[in-house]
Structure 1
Amino acid sequence: MVTELVMQNPVVGTVISARRDLAALCRLMAHFGLDDITSTHLSVLVPERPGHYLLNPYGMMLAEVTPGDAVEVDADGTIVDPGNGWPLNKTAIVIHGAVHRARPEVGAAIHAHTHAGIAVGALPEGLLPMSQWSMKFVERTAYHDYDGAARAGGLGEAIAQDLGAANVVMLLRNHGTLAVGDDAAAAFIRLYYLEQACKSQLMLGARGADALMLPPPAMQKRAGFEQNQGTLDHRRDFLPVGHREWPALLRLLDRTQPGWDA
C-alpha cells in the first residue's frame, strides 16, 4: 500500500507518486460526493518534467481511476503518455494547461461542479467570511464570470488570469469551483473546505452579510493567513496545508477501496 510511504514523506516526488496522487484525488472526490459523473477534472504536475502534468481520463467515473489510467500531457497540451488509453476532456487540457503555465508553483489543481459551489458562485456577494472554513479563503478567492464551456485556449487563459498570482480557490460563476495547491494534499483540502464553507453559507437562506455576525476585517485577514500556513500540533510539529490530513485520507482509501493504488 502507498499509505506507509506517504506517511513518511507526503510528497515523494516521483512519476509513480504523482500518478498515485492523481488516483487518490479522484477516489477522494468520489468518496466525498464532489464528483460530477465524468465531467470533473484534476491535474497533478509530473516531477522533473517541466510543464508536464497528469489528467484523469475522460469517460471514467472518478471512483474507477487507478494510477495507470492517468494521462500525461506536456506544456503544449500534447499527450506524451496515454496511460491506459482513455481520451481526455478538451476542457481539462484548456483549463489546467493554462493554470499550470500561469502558476508554475501549482503542483495540483481541481475543477469541480458541486451544488454548493455553483450556488454560492451565483450570489452577487460570493463567499462570505462567516465561518472558520470560509476564512481560509479571505483575500485568496478569485471569481470568473461565466463564458461558456472552456474548450478554446483563450477561455483557459482568461480563467488563469482571473485566478491571479496568489489566490488558492476560484468560484467560476454559474459553473463550478477551482482549487490549487503546491501538491495534491493542499489542493484537495482547499476544495473540500471550500465546499464546506459554501454549504454552511447556503444554510442561512437569503440573509446577506449585513444580517450576520462576522469577525472584524483584521481578524478575517489574520485567520486567512494562519490557516494557509499549515497546522501545528501540541509538539509544535508544523506541517504544510493538507499534509496533516493526507495520510489519514489515504488510510481511508485503503480501508474503503482496497486496490485503489494498484
Structure 2
Amino acid sequence: MRVLLTGWPSFVDGEATAGDVLSLRSVRAALDAAGIDSDTAWSPEFRPGALRLEEADPARYSDVVFVCGPAHGTQVRWLHEWFPDCRRTAAGVTVIDPADPAVTGFHRVIPRDEPGSARPDLAWHADTERTPVIGVALAPGQREYGGQRRHEEVHAALEAWLNTLDCACLPVDTRLDTKDWRNCATPDQFASLVSRLDALVTTRLHGLVFGLRAGVPVLAVDPVAGGGKVSAQARALGWPAVVGAEAAVEPGALDRWWSWCLSGRGRAAADRRPPESAVLGELVSGLRGGR
C-alpha cells in the first residue's frame, strides 16, 4: 500500500494556501503514524524540484488522496483520468455539486461541510512550529539623494534575500492613512504593530527608530551610497546592525547581522530605554534664549 497525497497545491495552475498545505501535512502525519507509506505531489511553481503530479507513476500507488479545498473542476476530474486504477479518496473537502464528475469520480468522499454533519477542517489537527515574525519597511524613492540613490539595487537584493528566510514577513509602512485600513492611521497604532514583531528589516530611518523604541532588533540597510540618514541615525542611537548600500548587494552580506538580531545578544541590545533627546533640549533652549 502506497498513497499519493494531492490537493490544489499539486496543480501547476492551482493555488497553495496555508490551510491546504497544513491539511496535507496533517494527513501525511496520520499516515506515518499508521505505518502507511506516502508521497506528496507539489506544483513546480510552489516547490520546484519536488515530486510533480504529472511525474507520479500511477503504477506505483495503490491510493490517491485529494485533500482540502473544493472538489470540483477540470483539474480534479483529471486526477480520475490520470490514476484510473488507484483507489481515489477525497478528504476534508467542500462538495459544491454532488453530481459533479469531479466528486463522483472518487471512490470515497469525506466532506468537511456536509449538511448536518460538518467536520473540523484537517488543518485544525496539524502541528506547526513557531517561526520569527519580521516586519519589512522599505523607503520610497527619496529622489533628494540624487546620484547617491541605490534604492532599486538594494531593495532587489533585500527582496531576494528575504525569500530565503524561514520566517513570516509582514510588510509595514510608516505612511499613515486614515482612509485605508491597510495602513495605520496614527503613530500609536504603528508603534503597537512594531512592538509585536520579533525583528524588523528596514531601509527607512523611522523603521529603525520605531523598532528600537519598541525593543525590537532592527536590521537597518542604508540605500544611499556612502551612507545617508539611516546610517547617521544608527550612530546616534548606538545601533550596530547597519549594512551599507554597497555591502547589501553582496552575497551573504546580510546574514551576519540577521543572525545577530535574532540572537540573545541582539535582543538584549535592543531592549533598552530611548536616550534623552539633545535636539529637544537644544530646541527649547534656543526658543527661550530668543525671547
Tell me if TM exceeds 0.5: no
Task: State TM-score, norm by structure 2.
Answer: 0.24
Work out which of the two has the higher radius of gyration on C-alpha atoms and give 1 or 2.
Answer: 2
Task: State TM-score, norm by structure 1.
Answer: 0.25
Structure scoring higher RCO (CA < 8 A, sep ≥ 6) equals 1
